[in-house]
Amino acid sequence: MFGFDSQNEMICACNDISRLYVDSARREEFKNLLEQNGVVRDFEYQAFRQDGSKFWVSLNARAVRDEHGAVSYYEGHRKGRDLP
């Protein structure tokens, strides 16, 4: 979806995931919604591929918390579509 050959390649190349968002404020909005609600459904944002092209992403996710209630990681599913 993001134009990398593997997840590992993407992880190694992206030390700041917010740079994949066309509007980095959407990343903060996503994180805030997860903090408040624990779940986000149909969250849409534009993202950059590795080659710089843009596409739309629809994201469903939930916050997975540790025994103290702190967010450990996000778990979810993304669907992408090219811009018209």
Which residues, at least 6 apart from 77, have a Cβ–Cβ distance to it below 8 Å?
Answer: 59, 60, 61
SS3 of 43-82: the string is: EEEEEECCCCCEEEEEEEEEEEECCCCCEEEEEEEEEEEE
**Hey, what CATH class is 7-82 in?**
alpha beta
Separation between Cα atoms, residue 38 and residue 65, nearest integer Å = 9
pLDDT truncated to tens, each residue of the chain (84 aa)? 666 667 676 666 666 666 788 998 999 999 899 889 989 999 999 988 888 889 899 989 998 989 998 888 889 877 766 655
pLDDT at 61: 93
In the chain, where the domains are located? 7-82
pLDDT at 83: 54
Per DSSP, the three-state class of 35 is helix
CA angle 30, 33, 36 (to 5 degrees): 150
pLDDT at 60: 93
